[in-house]
Amino acid sequence: MSRWRSIAMTAWMGVVLARGAERPNILWLIAEDMGPHLGCYGTREVETPNLDRLAAEGVRFTHFYNGHVCSPSRSAFMTGMYATTIGAHNHRSHRTDGYRLPNGVRVLTDWLRDAGYFTANVVTLPESCGFRGTGKTDWNFFYEGRPFDSDRWSDLRTHSPFYAQVNFSETHRPFRAPSRADPAKVELPPYYPDHPVVREDWARYLDSVSELDRKVGRVLAALEADGFAERTVVIFFADNGEAHVRGKQFCYEEGLHVPLIIRWARALPPPEGFKPGTVDDRLIHGIDLAATTLAIAGVPKPPAMQGQVFLGPHADPPREYVFGHRDRCDETVMRIRTVRDRRYRYIRNFTPEVPLLAPNAYKERQYPVWNLLKELYARGELPPASAALCAPRMPPEELYDLETDPWETQNLATSTDPQHRAALERLRAVLEQWMRETKDLGEVPESPDELKAAQEHAAATRARSDAPAGSKKGAVR
């Protein structure tokens, strides 16, 4: 940030703080493990009237990318920093060793409280909602003190302005929602086999999205009933991609691409260019939510923050690229980095010897299709796109033309086409530069003690399971 821009933003914050009544409340509604599978995004066999209405009253973003799995992603979007920069990249790490954030990095709520915001991670909702928030944080660092002022919705009634979040677990496995979707009518990605187990699992996922929508509707109704809606900016998004085999924990579109809907406070003037009912196709990263939320609150972006502001008079230039990563998840050690632009996605697999379907207790227990794929592959019954998921190695590099191949099934990394070759070389260089400039800590392996703790946790998880999912839901019949 330039010196003059910093001065201007500080002056602007002073004006906003002096006119405190104009500062909006901010409400984050955070789903888990969910892709952009809402009616307003064009998904069939899902019932999402509340989120569709939120999109109609706000702006729907079509190219929003978060982390690959919950704990690195949540560590990132709550600090506005890449998880690989702050040492939060390995899934569920640093929980007990006292690891703290680098100097100059804080969680979003600390910056907001300094600016006079009351903060809450709401667990206890109004009785009319009929459920509780999960209160999930799941950060890969040690936080000393209280990151939120409250966990009760009722406290919002006596504090203004407020920043609050409600966390929903419906789209996290195991799926428990009432059955609505017809398995015969769901649209499957082409890299999954058209099999009854796959169709049933996909339908139950869409049912969980429908149930999430019902609960979001209850929260939005409570916002109206308490008189908050007129002065509250509502931001709905998911922490990481869908809970399917090639989604969550991986760096394809399915693992990183999530919904984002923002509805502005009706009583306050929206930012220039923010028009209800429109669609925004800019490339946006999850870390940009922290910077943009601060901007909405009238707080200048901290100097160290890597996230970019994408709304308001001090918005940063649109991103040309969005980046992603995958490191250890549970006991499975992998290192993957990715970058995409408007057309291409490039993936670098630093551990190609580790297959996509590497042993993983969580996936084996919770993902019936994970086990199904292995069974069908052993019997030679998978179509080529599905069989590729079962390969004993991953390619060192992957390149996909998302205009012609949105499902990322045709790896162009070895293509001799001059256009694809130029894209590969350009994105490879961009990714390497990003890793250098952001000081990617994934180059440093975890200590033997850290890895042993992750493996012991995974072993305990496996022991608690009566049997692998493949012997039940995932078995071939």
Question: What pLDDT score was predicted for residue 2?
Answer: 40
Distance, CA of 429 to CA of 456 (rounded, Å): 38
pLDDT interval class at 455 (50, 70, 90): confident
Q: Tell me what the mean pLDDT of segment 217-246 comes to.
A: 98
Q: Is the pLDDT of residue 384 over 70?
A: yes
Q: Is the pLDDT of residue 466 over 90?
A: no
CATH 3.40.720.10 fits domain 3-319: yes
CA angle 340/341/347 to nearest 5° reads 20
Question: What pLDDT score was predicted for residue 98?
Answer: 85
Tokens 């002065």: give the residue.
Answer: 231
Q: Is the pLDDT of residue 14 over 90?
A: no
Q: Is the pLDDT of residue 9 over 90?
A: no
Amino acid at 255: G
SS3 120: strand
CA angle 469/252/474 to nearest 5° reads 15
**pTM, full prediction:** 0.93
pLDDT interval class at 463 (50, 70, 90): low
Question: What pLDDT score was predicted for residue 13?
Answer: 47
Question: What pLDDT score was predicted for residue 461?
Answer: 59
Q: Is the pLDDT of residue 258 over 50?
A: yes
Question: What pLDDT score was predicted for residue 96?
Answer: 79
Q: For residue range 136-174, list pLDDT tens digits in order.
A: 999 999 999 999 999 999 999 999 999 999 999 999 999
Across all residues in the chain, what is the average pLDDT?
92
Q: Are 319 and 282 in contact (CB under 8 A)?
A: yes
Q: For residue range 415-450, list pLDDT tens digits in order.
A: 999 999 999 999 999 999 999 999 999 999 888 888
Distance, CA of 367 to CA of 51 (rounded, Å): 27
Q: Which two tokens stand for residue 301?
A: 């972006």
Question: What pLDDT score was predicted for residue 464?
Answer: 58
Amino acid at 240: N
Q: Is the pLDDT of residue 8 over 50?
A: no
Distance, CA of 78 to CA of 71 (rounded, Å): 11
pLDDT interval class at 452 (50, 70, 90): confident
Question: What pLDDT score was predicted for residue 94?
Answer: 87
Distance, CA of 34 to CA of 248 (rounded, Å): 9
Distance, CA of 91 to CA of 68 (rounded, Å): 10
Which of the 8 DSSP states describes residue 264?
A: -
Minimum mean pLDDT range among 87-91, 269-273, 446-450 = 446-450
Q: Tell me what the mean pLDDT of segment 174-193 comes to.
A: 98
Distance, CA of 21 to CA of 17 (rounded, Å): 9
Q: What is the DSSP string of 291-352?
A: HHHHHHTT-PPPTT------SSTTPPPPPS-EEEEE--BTTB---EEEEE-SSEEEEEES-T
Q: Are 386 and 373 in contact (CB under 8 A)?
A: yes
Q: What is the DSSP string of 377-412?
A: HHTT---HHHHGGG-SS--SEEEEETTT-TT--S--
Amino acid at 398: E
Question: What pLDDT score was predicted for residue 462?
Answer: 60
Q: Are 336 and 143 in contact (CB under 8 A)?
A: no
Q: Is the pLDDT of residue 23 over 90?
A: yes
Q: Tell me what the mean pLDDT of segment 192-216 comes to.
A: 98
Distance, CA of 51 to CA of 38 (rounded, Å): 8
Q: Tell me what the mean pLDDT of segment 119-138 comes to.
A: 98
Question: What pLDDT score was predicted for residue 456?
Answer: 79
Q: Is the pLDDT of residue 16 over 60?
A: no
Q: Tell me what the mean pLDDT of segment 385-398 comes to.
A: 98
Q: Which two tokens stand for residue 28?
A: 């984050």
Distance, CA of 70 to CA of 36 (rounded, Å): 16
Q: What is the DSSP string of 230-294?
A: GGEEEEEEESBS-SSTTSTTSSSHHHHEEEEEEE--TTSPPPTT--TTEEE---EETTHHHHHHH
Q: Tell me what the mean pLDDT of segment 45-61 comes to.
A: 98
Ramachandran angles phi, psi of 464, nearest 5°: -75, -15
Question: What pLDDT score was predicted for residue 279?
Answer: 98
pLDDT interval class at 77 (50, 70, 90): very high
